[in-house]
Structure 1
Amino acid sequence: MEKIKLTGRIVTPDDSEYEQARINNNLSIPKFPSKIVFCQNTEDVLNALRWVRENRTPFRMRSGRHSYENFSLVNDGLIIDVSEMDEIIINGKEITAKIEAGANLGHVYNKLWEYGMTIPAGTESSVGVIGLTLGGGIGMLTRLFGLTCDNLIEIEMVRAGGHRGAELIKANKNHNSDLFWACCGGGGGNFGIVTSLTFKLHRISKVSVFSVTWGWDDFEAAFNAWQNWAPNTDERLTSQIELKSKEANQIIAQGEFVGPSSKLKELLRPLTTIGSPTSVSVKEVPYIEAVRFFDVPSGNRPALRKKSGSFLEKPFPPKAILTMKQFLANAPNENSGIWHQSLGGAAGRIAPNETAFYYRDAIIAQEYLATWNDSVEERQNIRWIEELKRALSPYTTGDYVNFPDRYIKDWPTAYYGDNFKRLREVKMEYDSFNLFNFPQSIPPFKKWF
């Protein structure tokens, strides 16, 4: 039989574009693959998977390059990169969109806005829609429209098997429904290479956005007011609050309301009347302007960084808030922070076992952030993140699979809770030989008789 050849745009270490092609958003865990194939279509993906099987070569899949622990890279292996497959086909009659796996959120939002539509997704424009969706997907429309995966209708995936070692399959609620369930929160890279996602769309026009800022002295009062208000207010309002280091001296709450600014001002009173805000801004804008308002350029740029996270199922007591304050008063640098987003609403009306995304009872998603400029600072920044996570663990639960952390000991429970066993069964069904694996990938569930 004729040997399989790689197709698509192939980059190797000898090429001038290799350095740019190999890096991800996180520069602190460098990896040096032997080949990167930028697939242009599904046939290129099929050929790449067949090639790695024939050549017994380690490989990873990659789209948006935002894998926090660089699980989408591997040394001396092949990267199957789908980022140049970014076509979006909109069905105006069905109010759906078929989005190729390489599309990033900036491209998705801008294309859908041409039709006055959107999907609920994240805020950083360079994030790939595929990785976000497969892990769940939270953002500024979560409380109104649910997680990104809650709006998923169908996936197309290249899996191991079939003709010459790879085949394209579809999964939805009626066909390969167990795989579809697993792809709604089970994380990327576990079962195959997703090549397209089909979503139901939501019509949208104008929205209102807000920003409220306080200084360090209002730390406890501002966070406490936000945490008791944000998950319980009008479901059309999703918000976030970032607690920055004492050195940065800023607590900033922002959010998006699908409604008029006059109503938003009313809803904001529990926040704007707390402490002494240094600034309050409320404005009504076209939806695409809100997308740009929340897009933080620093999050899109590659950097030396470490992130981790957790969920809150009930508000923090004063002791937990003080713990955050103490850590931020002793942060390794000005760029350290703790970010929170409100959940509940539509995202909380789905049972924990209805999709692979387990943390439906969470009221807040929490993320710990650190970036640094010199590799000698890495150890103290990572230690700060891990000690902060440990100190808050009595008051938090689990971790969001899209905020992976290689130091989590019991990561299966942290990411998937009670859904892990079923995810292993799905893995056994679709990838029994564990071809798709990385340091925190789901292992097959082997039955012993």
Structure 2
Amino acid sequence: MGPETENGDHIDEFESGFLGDLIRPEDSGYDNARTVWNGMIDKRPDLVAQCQDVADVISAVEFAREQDLLVAVRGGGHNAAGLGTCDDGIVIDCSPMNWVDVDPDTRRVRVGGGATWRDVDHATQAFGLAVPGGVVSHTGVAGLTLGGGYGHLRRAYGLTCDNLVSVDLVTADGRFLTASEDEHPDLFWAVRGGGGAFGIVTAFEFEAHPIGTKVATVETWHSIEDATVVFETWRDFVETAPRTISGEAIIWGIPEDPHFPEEHHDDPVAIITAVHAGDPDEGEELLRPLREFGSPLFDFSGRIRYLDLQQGFDPFFPAGEHRYYQGSVYLDSLDDEVIADILDRAETRPDPRILYYVWNLGGAIADVPEHATAFSGRDHPYLLAIDGKWDDPAEDDAVLEWARSFQRDMQVHSPGEGYRNFPGLGEGGDAQRTPERDETDDRLVEVKDQYDPTNVFSRNHGVTPSESARTDGGAGDE
């Protein structure tokens, strides 16, 4: 039973002091308000509270707590597992809070909790700056940052959360806090890679980097028959490449797009990409061996605008139109046996639009000590990521079993665990545990006990308070 049917007075009082929009199931905008990026997520909340400012967020949290409502928090709504919505309960939607303020002199960027990376890139590129973000521009800043944040600049400048200076946050009891290395450092540690289980971040402060407005890139598409040599050549290149270079080796099907001949649509291909974070002239020279390799079917390499790089894959992953699955496995190495096992799945994909890819890691990511933040997996050299995309609900079981069995089978090459931002559909990507991850998770529970002992934020990456905290309600943070 929803909050209004239980007691209309409570929701009327809530609405009277709420600046944004409160959307109920009977309202005309309800279906749009409840829709998230993954089209297979079909949740029906009792209420969507579209917050305009911090005061709205505080009001929504207090209302949810007083009415004992299930809470989902939405930023960009891009999480594949659908954590930004729920059945029944309330969605606290921060997407209207998408402001970005850039100080080009200090290279500090303040970002509202509902912004996407398109918002951030638009504002920072006016000054030739960039905050390391994601690889699809409609990804939400909040979700990516709180879970870590891999992107095109990762080896040069680290994870998104490594570039975080502070956050403003509303806690489960409605308090407004700023967390940084100097204020509430335990909370600041947790939000850098530990997910959104500790409060609602209403503002992020980042350090930006002077990358200019154009970058040198390689993107070549090769016949699937050449996949083995393509992956081996890419591996040999990135293993000795400077940290200014980040790249991916990809298996995909040629999309139904006018850039590609119709007769080749859906044909499987092996793609190699790399991006140089620095002077484009230097980058083109460094990337030349990778670009000149083989006889690609298509070559989209060159010097391009950073904004175009960030938005290049947007058309292929639109919000709400397809069914999506994102899983991952860290890899110990990318030797010939691992490559063979990876490529063995190329022809068995249930849908040609399913892609999977290997990211090279290291560089600035590994400069940060393992337990300096809540992000786990800094020492891993590679990440295998699986992006499922399909339309027919009748194919759900086949696609999910293919993706999950792929992850399970690759565990023989893995140190255990997966990337928090690619969580499958909530079942998690870490089939194994590691001592390092266990230590991090134990500390996350301690922070959860301190700031959300009654588990108000229960739908964010599965950090739950200890039994003792749930019993006594926590001591709070004075």
Residue 118 and residue 269 in structure 1: after superposition, are their counterparts in 2 closer, same or farther (change >3 A)?
closer
Is 2:96 the partner of 1:84? yes
More displaced stretch, 68-77 vs 219-228: 219-228
- Alignment gaps of 5+ in structure 2: 1-8, 255-265, 470-478
Is 2:161 the partner of 1:140? no
1:268 counterpart SS class:
helix
1:330: how far off?
1.4
Cα distance in 1 for partners of 2:438, 2:221 equals 35
Cα distance in 2 for partners of 1:38, 1:244 equals 37
**Which residue does the alignment assign to 1:109?**
121
2:81 counterpart SS class:
coil
Cα distance in 1 for partners of 2:112, 2:398 equals 40
Identify the match of residue 344 of structure 1 among 362, 368, 373: 362
1:254: how far off?
1.8
**Which residue does the alignment assign to 1:428?**
449
CA deviation map 1:139-166 (0-9, x unaligned): 01111111111110000100023xxxx1
1:335 is aligned with what amino acid? R
- Structure 1 residues 117-136: aligned runs within 5 Å: 117-136=129-148
Alignment coverage as a number of residue pairs: 440
- Structure 1 residues 9-24: aligned runs within 5 Å: 9-24=21-36
**Which residue does the alignment assign to 1:176?**
184
**Which residue does the alignment assign to 1:248?**
267
Residue 252 and residue 133 in structure 1: after superposition, are their counterparts in 2 closer, same or farther (change >3 A)?
same
Cα distance in 2 for partners of 1:286, 1:365 equals 26
- Structure 1 residues 15-414: aligned runs within 5 Å: 15-161=27-173, 166-188=174-196, 190-205=197-212, 206-244=214-252, 248-268=267-287, 270-272=289-291, 274-292=293-311, 294-302=312-320, 303-315=322-334, 317-396=335-414, 397-405=416-424, 406-408=426-428, 413=433
1:265: how far off?
4.2
Cα distance in 2 for partners of 1:186, 1:418 equals 12
Q: Give TM-score scaled by structure 2 length.
A: 0.87
Residue 285 and residue 409 in structure 1: after superposition, are their counterparts in 2 closer, same or farther (change >3 A)?
closer
1:134 is aligned with what amino acid? L
Instruction: Indicate if the aligned counterparts of 2:328 and 2:429 stay in contact, CA closer than 8 A.
Output: no
Instruction: Indicate if the aligned counterparts of 2:350 and 2:399 stay in contact, CA closer than 8 A.
Output: yes
Is 2:14 the partner of 1:5? yes
Instruction: Indicate if the aligned counterparts of 2:24 and 2:48 stay in contact, CA closer than 8 A.
Output: yes
Residue 271 and residue 92 in structure 1: after superposition, are their counterparts in 2 closer, same or farther (change >3 A)?
closer
What's the Cα RMSD here?
2.2
1:58: how far off?
1.1
Q: Give TM-score scaled by structure 1 length.
A: 0.92
1:24 is aligned with what amino acid? V
1:5 counterpart SS class:
helix
1:80: how far off?
0.1
2:456 is aligned with what amino acid? L
Is 2:462 the partner of 1:441? yes
Instruction: Indicate if the aligned counterparts of 2:452 and 2:465 stay in contact, CA closer than 8 A.
Output: yes
Cα distance in 2 for partners of 1:100, 1:442 equals 24
1:250 counterpart SS class:
strand
Cα distance in 2 for partners of 1:64, 1:412 equals 30
Cα distance in 2 for partners of 1:287, 1:26 equals 26
Instruction: Indicate if the aligned counterparts of 1:124 and 1:297 stay in contact, CA closer than 8 A.
Output: no
CA deviation map 1:355-402 (0-9, x unaligned): 111111122222112221211111101011011111111112311110
1:81: how far off?
0.3
